[in-house]
Amino acid sequence: IMENDFKKFEEITSFMQKELSQISDEVFNQQNEIASLKNEVAKLKKRIIELQEELETNIDKGNQIPPHY
């Protein structure tokens, strides 16, 4: 009986090690994906700021009185 218990324990331990390894791999992949997404968000924020500044510049130019007036 004790031998069966030990064998069952080994099976469970082996299963848990495999599961833990798979979880670890998935966490690693998700960390990489999160880093990539953060990079994309930073690029998009920068582009939004550029577009806002460009829009403000164009609005300012549109509010100026032409020199011939």
Q: In this prediction, what percent of the chain has a pLDDT beyond 90?
A: 72
Cβ neighbours of residue 59 closer than 8 Å, sequence gap 6 or more: none
Tokens at 20, concatenated: 């833990």
- Amino acid sitting at position 11: E
Q: What is the pLDDT of residues 34-49, one digit of tens each?
A: 999 999 999 999 999 9
Q: What is the pLDDT of residues 15-29, one digit of tens each?
A: 999 999 999 999 999
